[in-house]
Amino acid sequence: DTEVTQTPKHLVMGMTNKKSLKCEQHMGHRAMYWYKQKAKKPPELMFVYSYEKLSINESVPSRFSPECPNSSLLNLHLHALQPEDSALYLCASSPGSGTSVNNEQFFGPGTRLTVL
């Protein structure tokens, strides 16, 4: 299995809802990432997990809560989102971490989130 999967593909939620995005990889990668991409913009890094520990949190609002239950799974819990949070949320994984040279990131197809 050489891919990163993300569910759901599309999600529409109200501002009072609680939902979760899921990402999974079975490549044995040790680092996993969440990115947010607005239309016609580049992806922006949100969180990095390295060996299941949060290593980078790019000052993301607390209404986004990441979770890494194990090395293959990465969740993003959403609560009380705003319409401006509507975007494509991309998950990625990479083989190495720290100073490892195996740092190319493999991206999932993304979840397109709409907040009403």
Partner 1 sequence: AQKVTQAQTEISVVEKEDVTLDCVYETRDTTYYLFWYKQPPSGELVFLIRRNSFDEQNEISGRYSWNFQKSTSSFNFTITASQVVDSAVYFCALFFLTNSGYALNFGKGTSLLVTP
Write down the least CB distance from residue 104 to partner 1, Å.
Answer: 5
Write down the least CB distance from residue 65 to partner 1, Å.
Answer: 18
Task: Extract long-range pairs of 69-73: CB within 8 Å, 24+ residues apart.
Answer: 71/28, 71/29, 71/30, 72/24, 72/25, 72/26, 73/22, 73/23, 73/24
Which CB, 33 or 64, lies closer to partner 1? 33
Site residues (vs partner 1, CB under 8 A): 33, 41-45, 48, 50, 55-56, 88, 90, 92, 97-99, 101, 103-110, 112
